[in-house]
Amino acid sequence: MTSVVSSPPRTVRIGSRKSQLALVQTHWVKAQLQKAFPEINFEVHTMSTQGDKILDVALAKIGDKGLFTKELELGMINQEIDFAVHSLKDLPTNLPEGLALAAITERENPADALVVHEKHKDKQIDTLPEGAVIGTSSLRRLAQLRHQFPHFTFKDVRGNLNTRMAKLDAGEYDALILAYAGLERLGMSDRIHQVLPKEISLHAVGQGALGIECRADDTELISLLKAIEHPPTRDRCLAERAFLRDLEGGCQVPIGVNTEIDGETLTLTGIVASVDGQKLVKDTVSGSTEDAEKLGTELAKLLRQQGAQEILSEIFAEIQRGA
């Protein structure tokens, strides 16, 4: 009688940035997968990305494509890790050859949030005083807020969330604009003073969702990762990413979106704005969730007809000049 030798359980290596938020997100993904597949060993491996190392330069001046993802992607290509967990808004819309976006998890509220210094706790964004110093590292937020509130002073802010909060509390800023999802995931939702409505600030493509990237030929792993995908979030984010891809914009370009699903109908709103907030084009499309990516492409075409390409070309030229 021959004995059956059982193969050892597969070990799956998860890549993550070292930041506190990245680790919280990665360990959440690990827990979900471990619960679904208790027979598999999941290990977290951390890496520092270029975006984690350069903290004294505005993101837009570095050039952002792959700023927070490149090292993790090399780790997958070199077989050092099996998949990586990203904040989806940091993941470029064109992935390196051989890699694929395997799953998108249920998103937190994707809105931007206002966090204020103690002295402004009785204010909302539209009642902050003239000249109030608003901290943001996002050209998208900057452009939309300049359009709405030209009387504010805007100042770049970098560093992890705790560092930014410390600068705010020390009085370097009157308020910060941050992602609601990041504050929520780090247990700082008590600092959210106001959730900015979409009329003031459309969010970043993929904001609030996690994107799981792996080698495109690892079909076994892809089928595992699909277990934690959230189809409505996937459809919304695929529409948003197709819109961004078609406009050839990175996450540090003033492109904002909002998506909603009602039954089988997906509605996508997009905006392209100049950094000074003077020029702004905005439109909305609706259609079937099955045509999510087509809707993104359609919206990009509509905004191009309204001058979006000229706005983006000016921004790219400014960035290249080191403006």
Task: Please say if 156 is a catalytic residue.
Answer: no
What own/partner pairs with CB < 8 Å and gap ≥ 24 does 19-24 have? Answer: 19/52, 19/160, 20/160, 20/161, 20/162, 20/186, 21/87, 21/160, 21/161, 21/182, 21/185, 21/186, 22/85, 22/87, 24/185, 24/186
Q: DSSP labels for 100-167?
A: EEEEEPPP----EEEEE-GGGTT--GGGSPTT-EEE---HHHHHHHHHH-TTSEEE---S-HHHHHHH
The answer to whether the CB of 105 falls within 8 A of the CB of 29 is: yes
Let me know: does 162 contact 178? Beta carbons within 8 Å: no
- Give the chain's length: 323
Q: What is the DSSP letter of 25?
A: H
The answer to whether the CB of 118 falls within 8 A of the CB of 176 is no
Distance CA 133, CA 42 (A): 44
CA distances from 321 to 63, 143, 313 (A): 12, 19, 12
The β-bridge relationship of strands 133-135 and 175-179 is parallel
CB 188 within 8 A of CB 195: no
Query: Which residue in 64, 90, 112, 235 is the catalytic one?
Result: 90
Catalytic residues: 90
